[in-house]
Structures are given as C-alpha cells and as structure tokens.
Amino acid sequence: MFRSPELFKQFPELVAAESTRHGGVSPAPYSSLNLGGSTADSADNIEENRRRFWQALHISASQVASSHQVHGSEVLVVTRPGRFEGYDALVTNQSNIVLAVTVADCTPILIYDPVRKAVAAIHAGWRGTVQQIAIKAIQKMQEEYGTNPADCYAYIGTCIDECSFEVGEEVAAHFDGEHKRYDSQLQKYFVDLKATNLNQLRQTGLPKNYIEISAYSTVLHNDDYYSYRLEKGLTGRLLAVVGLCNR
C-alpha cells in the first residue's frame, strides 16, 4: 500500500510515505489504490481508497492539507488542514497536519527539518523543476521558520526515470547538460528529474548523506506505481505525504 523513506525512520514523530497502486478497490485501469480525484474513477472508490490509506498511516482525513497543483512553483505556508488551490509545494511547522502531493510521473520531494520541526511536500514536474521549486520551498522554510538547510533531511521520491523520460528539444533546453542526454539514433533527449532536484537541494546546503533517492520508477516499476505517460493518461494517482503527528 505504501513505502516509507528509510532516511525518515529515525524520526518516530514523523509520518512520511508514498503510496503504491496496491490495496485499494478501484478497477482497471485505475487498479487498485487510486488516490487522485482528477480521474474518471468513481468518487466512492477514491474515497474508500483514501480511507484505507489514511487508516494504514494512523491518521485521519481531517489532518490532511493538499492543493490543486498547477505545475508551477508557488509555495503555500500551511496553518490548517484543508484543500487549497494553485500550489505545488506546501510547508508547515504545525503538529498533526499532514501535507500531501499528488503524482503519477512527476517527482515528489519530502523534506524534514528536525531542529525547527518543520516539513515540506513538493510536487516537481519538469516545469516545477526548471522553476526550482525545491529551492523555493527550502527558502520559504528559512523565511518562515528559521530553517538551516544543513539540518534538513530530504527524500526524492518515485517518478519517471531518465531512461524513460524522452523529451523534445524545447523541453531539454531548460535543463543543464549534466542532467540531460541526447540519443542520436532516436533524435530525442532524455532528462533526469531526480538528479536535477538532487542538485537543487544540494545547492541550498542540504548534506548529501541527508538525502535519499527512491530506487523505483513509475515506468520501470509500473506494476507498483502509476505512470501517466506509460499508461497514456488512463491511470490512477499516487500520494506522497509528510507530517509531524502526536501518535
């Protein structure tokens, strides 16, 4: 049903997980734990899937904060649970609020500052990545909570990997040479979202050994994860969540 970052398991106060596609009630092509409302899956299925997911994490739906994501770089300072509009990154230092972002190929990033007791959940598609949304989230944590990036731990989650993320020149032009590869036979570029976001986190001052990168791919491990690209849009959505909870 979900996997939790190994890096965060040293912090018992932290809820941190990304869902898989297993353990829900949705039929194909959303089988089975579709947690995204922006699909043609039935509302009843999604509600039941979310209920199961929250129950497995020992939290309630009333604790969750999320946003309708727009592939931008706006960061919301969350002071209460609820559904918001137009933000692709959420930060909070409030206990018992769980931040959630929705993905199905884009990169989820979860951040924890154990000194200032603050967290961030980031949705970094290629557009958000080139707009440096991870850097902007860290900067917001610095401004709001006095976060020192050197204290922070981060998880770069499951997304489309470089070998599967084929893009045209117009997209590749936004990425540094070290984070893209040109295939002369296919005459296409391949972009590495995980490496790009890792570089951005390192730029802010996060220690390399405080960053974990998912070993999984939404495309290569499609039996476990949804891929919007591979499944041509007819698929479910995953959630990545993080929060400080009194359990």
CATH top class, domain 2-161+206-244: alpha beta
Q: 80 burial class (0-12, 13-18, 19+ CB within 10 angstroms)? A: exposed
Per the document, the length of the chain is 247
The strand pairing partners of 17, in sequence order, are 241
The residues, ordered by sequence, that sit 6+ positions from 118 with a Cβ below 8 Å of its Cβ are 91, 92, 93, 112, 141, 144, 145, 147
pLDDT digit string (tens) for the chain, length 247 residues = 999 999 999 999 999 999 999 999 999 999 999 999 889 999 999 999 999 999 999 999 999 999 999 999 999 999 999 999 999 999 999 999 999 999 999 999 999 999 999 999 999 999 999 999 999 999 999 999 999 999 999 999 999 999 999 999 999 999 999 999 999 999 999 999 999 999 999 999 999 999 999 999 999 999 999 999 999 999 999 999 999 997 6
Provide the pLDDT for residue 246: 78
Nearest to 110 by CA among 29, 9, 247, 218: 9
* Contact (CB, 8 A) for 62 and 81: yes
Provide the pLDDT for residue 247: 62
DSSP state of 217: B
What's the N-to-C CA distance of the chain in angstroms? 20
Please give the Cα distance from 228 to 236 (Å, whole number).
Answer: 8
Domain ranges of the chain: 2-161+206-244
